[in-house]
Structures are given as C-alpha cells and as structure tokens.
Chain A
Amino acid sequence: MHFSIIEQVALLVFIALSLGSFLYELWKRIFIVFKGTGSFPFDRLWERWFRFFREVILQEKVIRERFLPGLMHALVFWGFMAFGVITLDHFARGFNGKILGETAYSVYSWVAIPFSILVIIGIVYLAFRRFVLRPKVLGKISITSGIVAIFIALLMGTYLLTELDLPHQIEKVNWWGHTFFILAFLFLIPRSKHLHLVLAPINIFFRPFTIPSHDAVEIDMDASEEELDSMLTGLTKMSRNQALDIFSCVECGRCTDVCPANRGGGILDPKHHFILDLKEPMLSTSDVDVLGQINVEAGWECTACQSCTDICPVGNHVEKSDEIRRHQVLLEGQVPQEYQKVFRNLQESGNTEGAFQSPLAEDLPVYTSDKEYALWLGCFARYGLDPDFEHSVRSFTKILEEAGVSYGVLSQEMCCGDPANRLGDKLTYQMLMDQNKEELQDVKKITSLCPHCVVNLDQEYRKYGEVPYKVEHHTQVISDIIESGKIRVEQGSNEKLTYHDPCNLSRSLNEVDAPRKVLNASSSGFFDMEESGRRTLCCGAGGGLWWKKESKGRTHLVRAQQVVDSGAETVATGCNFCFGMMKQGLGPLTPDNQKEIQVKDIADIVAENLVNN
C-alpha cells in the first residue's frame, strides 16, 4: 500500500481533529477533578501497584463479581492491550512508515488474530446481553454503547481482513475504514462512559485503603465566623478522588444490584443518586461543588453498608450518604424527627437512649490498668436495645474468664458516636469522640462485641488524630484464645448453622476468617449462606437506620428471607445490631409449619460448647 501526500495530509488532519477533541474533552474533566479538595494518595505504593495489577491487568474484580459478562469484558480488555502496538503500526503505515517488521508482524499476528476473534465473541455477547436480555441495572438503551459495540466489532473485522490477501483497492478502503473507526472511537471515548478506558486504571490505583474513606469533618467551636463559613462551604465540595470517580464510572450497575435499600424496595439507586446524577452539574458548572445536590430522600435510606463501594470494578467510593446527611444536619438543619431525638439523647446523656444507668455495666468487673482488655460494651448492650443480647455479652465474659484473660468495663463509656457519625451530626460525634479519647488515654487493648464501635474507635477516630490503643473484635479475641489453647471447644452443635457476616466486620474490618474458624470449631453443621463473607447483604440496621421510623422499603426483610431460604436452623451473627434485626425479621418470614430459626451471637455458640478443664 502506498499513501499519497494528499492522503497523508488528510490523515494528519483527521488524527489532529480526533486526538485534539479527545484531549480537549479529557482535559476539561481532569481540570474539574483537580478542583477537588485534598490530594491523591501515594501511600503504600507497593500495595497500590499490586492491587492495580490484580484488578486492572488481571481484571480480577470484574470477572469475580459477574462471571460471564466479566470474562467477556476481560477478553475485550486484553484484546485492546494486545492491539496496542499493531494500532501504532497501522497509523505509521498511513505515513508510509512502519513499526513492526515483516517477521515481527507475523509473530504478532499469532497473538492478534486469536484475540480479535475472542474480542468479537466478547463484544457480541455483551451486546446481546445489553440489547436483547436487557438486565434492569444497565438502564435505558444507550445509543453510544451500541455505536461503540459496532465500532469494536468492525475494528476487529477490518483487522482480520488485513490478514487476507485483498486486492489493492479493497485493502486501501479497509485501511481507511479501520482508521475511521479508531478515530471515531477516540472522539467518543471522553464523551461517554468509555472514558473508563483511560480513567479506571488511574482511579483504581488511587483508591483509598480504608472503607469507608470519608474525610474527617473537624469542627472548631472557637473558630471565627469566616473560618466557620469557609469550613461549611467546603462541605459540599468533592475531593479529587470523588471527582475522578464520577468520570470513571462505567455504568455497570453492580452498585445498585447489591444495595440493600434498593433490594428492600426503597428508592435509593447508588449508580444514579451517588454517582451519575452528579456528572451533569459538574460539567455544566465546571466545578466540584455539587455534593449538596444529592437526592436527600435517597440519602436517608442508605445503611452505609459499603457494599456498593466494595463491589465497584473501577474503584469508585460509591456511597455518599455521609456527604448529603452532613449537609442536611450541619447546613440545612433538616433532619427526620426520630434522628433529632437520637442526637439530643447523645448530647444530653452521652448515649442513644437518653438512659442514665446500665444494670449490665454495673454487674461486670471494672476496668483497671492491670487488666488485659477494656471491654467496650456499646449502647446496644449497655441499654438493652435487645434485652436478649445480654446473654451474648455474658457468653463472651464467660469465655474470657475460662481462658484466664482479664477484662473490665470502663466506668465512663460514652456512645462511640457511630449513629451521629453516619447520620451526619459531626458536631455531636466530635464531642463524644473527644470525651472517649480522654477516657481511653491509658488503655492499651480494647475488645468489643459491636463492630460499629470497633470501626469508630479503631478507624474513624484515627482520622482525627492518633490513638494509643488497639481494638479487636470479640470474634478475633475468641479465635486467638482457641488457637492458643487457652480454652478448648468441641463441635457440640450439630444443628444446621449459618453465619450472617456483619458489614462493619467483613468489609470495613476485613474480617471473615476468625468467625468461621470459631464456628467450625464449635459446630459440625456450619455452612455458608448466599452472599456471605465480604459480599454479605446488610441486615438493614446500619447508617443509623436502627432508629428509623416508617420507611418505604423493608430492607431488613431481604436478608432475613435469605436466612430462611438457606434452610438454617440457627443463624449466628457477630454484631448486636444484626442480632436484633435478625430477631425482628425472621419471625414474620418463617413459614407456619417451620420451627422458628434461632438467632445467636458467635460467643453464645462457643460458650455452649466449651470443654471444661
């Protein structure tokens, strides 16, 4: 093939226009991203690269969460990678040059041809899924997706044609066709969700390691009016990471798929409410000051379970209920009445119930500095939000005593602040946190049965400043105790036993093994139910929703139904809120002829199966 000067000039112009447009649109968005607050994180560099390798190169998350479509997508992606050099070579030929020599080219074809066929298979399947099967989460029919699918197919087609011996004229036409599709694709990329091609790998690299990763909201009560105003205006600005998220979104809908509020019949749709609805405001104002525009009603439905954040294949921190709620509380003063009551109780009596004493706390040993653990009870256990849970606390203390591990309860234990934190009242949260930090100054190790408390004491408090203590969830302590032989357990329970992973424990604290080790040691009938481990479906109590009145959806029933469907006779939990929600949800859903499913904490099951020395 030979290209005339006119053709080369034309080619140059087309490339310039297409590439120019691509870079301009890309730059517009990057410009907005850099208006975001904070900076991109470069900590734990090796971990970031390793994660990049697994999630981007190996497409691990994409394949794992939706196997067949994920695999097909991986094929298309690997195909793109494989075609990199060939594409450059293709353009070089347009200027009568080349990058790959004869041999190199034919060697390359051994890779490129199979890949192009795989890509065609992949794209045909994905198009079939999107346009014929039409799963709900993918949303309305997108013309752009259709065009892109056709382009990719034709790109592979035109490539394959070059491998055949074509008459010169056809060869030329084929070449220009291939060029057109590439340049048109380039034009489309930044204007569509296909921008994820460029941004997703970057977004994945910069994803924070803690989950959730909302920044601390520091409120200085002695600040001047200007300082306060500037802090408040900052509340509605996205961080750079958040802004990058919006442009990286590939609109796959996995986040909405796993959202418990959505599954329970609420209106919350994380894909739109937390991500896509913010794109237009960002582009039209060319700014990131858009967090105040998140749908308020949807924001109040969120249980802060972080399932959406965890499952996103392009590294988005999807959940934004924290942002809109703090906006409603701190800026607007518009808060549902039942949450106003919780805030007032926290301010007045330092706990969610407005209670003044805890018979349980008074009945347990007091913490002194010679004790190994400070046993953090949490409001749920202290004030009997479900009186049956007291038994589980006692099971745990029994295990500790049996193991000879010393513990004590703090005399002054304010609410860890989780409800205030997740509901947006950062002011009350700070007040509680400051008081607790005082109380915990000389404490080295804390253990608690409540994962919400653990997450706050361990992770959230650290966002505001270092803390001297370490926190372990009680299942971790029990697991260590069993492993070290301080107690012996036998597999006494033989009923069909399953485990509901608490969101805070499995996702935020990344702990799914310790509970299972413990349960397998105490039971021979343990099995995993669907959507367990890190994929656990929220019980419905998180995000302050334990205190919610009258809601559109019945979130807690979805998980309870799964427990019933699993055929379990007993469900174990590692969280007092999950415990309470399971007790409420299982009742109405158990068929009349079936025995009521037992709800127990892990500590209960271990305590039942202790072998006395």
Chain B
Amino acid sequence: MKIAVLIKQVPGSDSAFRASENELWIEEMQIQYEMNESDAYALEEALLIKEAQGSGEVVVVCMGPSARVSKVLREALAKGADRAIHIVEEDPLETDPYQIANILSESIKSESFDLILSGLQSVDLGMGQTGVLLGTMLGMPTATLVIATEISGDKIKVKRELESGWFQWVGLPLPACLSIQSGINTPRYPSLKGIMGAKKKEIKTINKGDVQLRDSLQMVNRIYSMQRDKKTEFIEGEPDSQVSRLMDILRSEVKVLGA
C-alpha cells in the first residue's frame, strides 16, 4: 500500500509570535521550527497502517525553504517513512491553500498513492483545507477530523469526530485522502537505528516554480498583532454588581454566550 503523508514545518506553537517589519510574516529570529502537530499524528497513523499491513511504502511530502525543511524530513524518515519529496519554496511563502494543494497535486499525481494523510490544520496559517483540496484535485473521496482508521481490502473506514462528543464511522473506497485529528495515536520518537538509517533514504527535490501552473486565488495582505494591549480591568464592588458586569463581558466582549 502506498501512503503519502503531507507534513508542514511550522514555528513552535509556544513561540512568542511577533509580526515582521513588513507585516507579511512573523519575526523569524528566535523561532524554533518543528513538524506541525497534527501532521506528526498523521505520520504516525501512516506508519501504523504500514506496519499492520506488513508491507507498503510511506512517503512524506513537504513544501518549504531548503535551509530548514530537511530537518523535519530527516525526522520523518528516522521515524520510519521510506522516502521524502521536498518541494523547494523560498520566501515569500505561499499562503493560498488552493495554490499549495495544486502544487502538491502536480508534484505527486504520477505516484498514484492509495492513501493520502494530512494533519487537520497547521499552527501557522490554520487554513485547514490543503488535504481536502488535494484529495479533490486527485479525484479522491475525502474525510476530515479523523480519529481512527480501519482498512479492509480496498476500502477504509474512518471514525470522524463530530461536535459535542458525537462520532460517526464513515466508509470510503480507496484511494482516499484523510485529514487527521490530533490524539488519534501516540507518536513515536525516532530510534537511534531510525536516525542512522534516515541518512541513506531518498529525498527527492522538486522546484516549486516547475509545478506552479497558475496564480494564487487569495493572499494574506497583512499580519499584525491583534491589538489588545493587556489592560487589566479591575472589577470590584458588591457581588451583584460584579456578576452583572461579568455577564456583560461574557455576552458582548468575550462573546462566549451563544452556542
């Protein structure tokens, strides 16, 4: 079974994010880059499926700058992926998910994957669509918020997370494209053997320019801090008046009353 895993290298979610000078990206100094969290779960799921099947190939696909992407590719290979495809993209980075999915589609369509897994959404842009877009472009059925998979023959059953603690099993024919939710499994750590073995595994590079066939459909114009200078509002007085103020806050300012 040939499985592709889409991974993205993103700034660590605990980083102190600051908009860059030109307001088109973030200040990259002092940012530790890592594999996007839900992508790590997707990779682990792919490895588990391959191990359960007893045979097959797991290929990781990643788009990003050459200076830093090799790290997450090596990490994925060290964990057990068989080879990697690196689409080289330098600054400025693409932000349109449609464009990204198109580039990915052009890069991998010749491989005829049986299953494509991606993380649900990335910590940086959080558009949450690349997997479904890619699957559709390749003519595959798609499903998101997957928290369990079950393969039988040429079909796959997935457990989808619905709102409010509800779940649903959905069956799809293969080939299919799934967006994986964090928590589906327990991602492994690369063993020493894996780390050493990764050095010999293939990383194929593709230039973004060679596979980018069209213009982007949407773009991020500006990135800025959500202007909320932390001014602590002290609410004192009688409990009744405090509660009244709190209700206002919950309703109109924080806006959590409603769902």
* A in complex with B: yes
Q: Which single member of B12, B33, B191 contacts A332 (CB below 8 Å)? A: B191
B176-194, CB under 8 A of A: which get 1 and which 0?
Answer: 0000000000111111111
Is the Cβ of A232 less than 8 Å from the Cβ of B32? no
Which chain A residues (331-359) contact chain B, with CB distance < 8 Å?
A: 331-335, 337, 340, 343-345, 348-349, 354, 356-357
Query: Is residue B30 contacting chain A, with contact meaning CB distance below 8 A?
Result: yes
Known: A330-B191, A333-B191, A334-B189. A221 touches B14 (CB 8 A): no
CB contacts under 8 Å to A, within B47-103, are: 79
Q: Bound complex: CA of A476 vs CA of B30, how far in Å? A: 37
Q: Residues of A contacting B30 with CB < 8 Å? A: 356-357
Does A466 reach chain B (CB closer than 8 Å)?
no
Contact A333 B32, CB 8 Å, known A343-B189, A354-B14: no
Q: In the complex the two chains form, is B79's CB within 8 Å of A348's CB?
A: no
Is B114 on the interface with A (CB-CB < 8 A)?
no
- Given A228-B196, A333-B79, A337-B186; A354-B191 close (CB under 8 Å): no
A427 at interface by CB-CB < 8 Å: yes
A225 lies within 8 A of B196 (CB): yes
What residues on B are CB-neighbors of A332 within 8 Å? 191
Residues of A within 8 A of B32 (CB): 345, 348-349, 354
| Chain B residues within 8 Å of A182, by CB | none
The residue in B12, B33, B189 that gathers the most chain A C-beta atoms within 10 A of its C-beta is B189
Q: Which residues of A contact B12 (CB under 8 A)?
A: 354
Q: Would you give the 0/1 interface string for B193-216, flagging 1 where the beta carbon is closer than 8 Å to chain A?
A: 111100000000000000000000
Chain A residue nearest in CB terms to B186: A337
**Smallest beta-carbon distance B29→chain A, Å:** 8
Q: Does B34 contact A (CB under 8 A)?
A: yes
Q: For window 206-246 of chain B, which residues contact chain A by CB distance below 8 Å?
A: none
A283 within 8 A of B: no
Question: Is A329's beta carbon under 8 Å from chain B?
Answer: yes
Asked if B195 and A427 make an inter-chain contact with CB atoms under 8 angstroms apart, the answer reads yes
Q: Let me know if A331 and B193 touch, CB within 8 A.
A: yes
Q: Is the CB of A335 within 8 A of B189?
A: yes
Within 8 Å of chain B (Cβ to Cβ): is A219?
Answer: yes
Cβ distance B35 to chain A, nearest Cβ, rounded Å? 9
Q: Which of A221, A329, A333, A345 has the most CB of B within 10 A?
A: A333
Interface residues in B13-35 (C-beta closer than 8 Å to A) = 14, 29-30, 32-34
Contacts of B191 in A (CB 8 A): 329-333
* Cβ distance A297 to chain B, nearest Cβ, rounded Å: 14
Distance to closest chain A CB from B185 (angstroms): 11
Q: Mark B131-146, 1 if CB is under 8 A from A, else 0.
A: 0000000000000000
Partner of A329, one of B34, B187, B189: B189
B188 near A333 with CB under 8 A, answer yes
Contacts of B133-187 to chain A: CB distance below 8 A: 186-187
Q: Enumerate chain A residues within 8 angstroms of B196, measured Cβ to Cβ.
A: 221, 225, 228
Q: How far does the Cβ of B73 sit from chain A's closest Cβ, in whole Å?
A: 15
Establish whether residues A331 and B188, one from each chain, have CB atoms under 8 Å apart when the complex forms: no
> Is B14 within 8 A of A219, CB to CB?
no
Q: How far is the CA of A383 from the CA of B145 in the complex (A)?
A: 37
Closest to B191 in A: A333
Closest A residue by C-beta to B12: A354
Q: Enumerate chain A residues within 8 angstroms of B79, measured Cβ to Cβ.
A: 333
A263 to chain B, nearest CB (A): 29
Inter-chain CA distance A343–B29, complex, in Å, is 21
A430 to chain B: closest CB distance in Å?
11
**Complexed CA–CA distance, A348 and B75 (Å):** 13
Q: Which of A330, A331, A337 contacts B187 (CB 8 A)?
A: A337
Chain A residues contacting B193 (CB-CB under 8 Å) are: 228-229, 232, 331
Q: Residues of B contacting A427 with CB < 8 Å?
A: 192, 195
User: Which B residues lie within 8 Å of A349 (CB)?
Assistant: 32
A356 to B11, CA, bound (A): 14
Which residue in chain B gives the minimum CB-CB distance to A426? Answer: B192
Kindly identify, within residues 288 to 347 of chain A, every residue whose CB is under 8 Å from any CB belonging to chain B: 329-335, 337, 340, 343-345
Q: CA of A229 to CA of B34 in the docked complex: distance in angstroms? A: 29
Nearest residue, chain A, Cβ from B194? A333
User: Min CB distance, B28 to chain A, in Å?
Assistant: 12
CB–CB A232/B187 < 8 A = no
Q: Which chain A residues in 223-243 approach chain B with CB under 8 Å?
A: 225, 228-229, 232
CA distance A354 to B16 in the complex (A): 11
- For residue B77, give the distance in angstroms from its CB to the closest CB of chain A: 13
Given A354-B12, A354-B32: A232 touches B192 (CB 8 Å cut-off):
yes
B14 in contact with A333 (CB, 8 Å): no
Q: Which residue of B lies closest to A334 (CB)?
A: B188
The residue among A219, A343, A356 with the most chain B CB atoms within 10 A of its own CB is A356
Shortest Cβ gap from B83 to chain A (Å): 18
Q: Across the interface, name the chain B residue whose C-beta is closest to A231.
A: B192
The complex places the Cα of A340 from the Cα of B12 at a distance, in Å, of 14
Known: A225-B196, A356-B29. 12 other contacts (CB 8 A): A228-B193, A229-B193, A331-B191, A333-B190, A333-B191, A337-B187, A344-B34, A348-B32, A349-B32, A354-B14, A354-B32, A357-B30
**What are 26 A-B contacts defined by CB distance under 8 Å?**
A219-B192, A221-B196, A228-B192, A229-B193, A232-B192, A330-B192, A331-B191, A331-B192, A332-B191, A333-B79, A333-B188, A333-B189, A333-B190, A333-B191, A333-B194, A334-B189, A335-B188, A335-B189, A337-B186, A337-B187, A340-B189, A344-B34, A345-B32, A354-B12, A356-B30, A427-B192
* Chain A contacts to B: CB under 8 angstroms: 219, 221, 225, 228-229, 232, 329-335, 337, 340, 343-345, 348-349, 354, 356-357, 427
Q: Which 5 A-B pairs have the closest CB atoms?
A: A356-B30, A333-B191, A335-B189, A330-B192, A333-B188
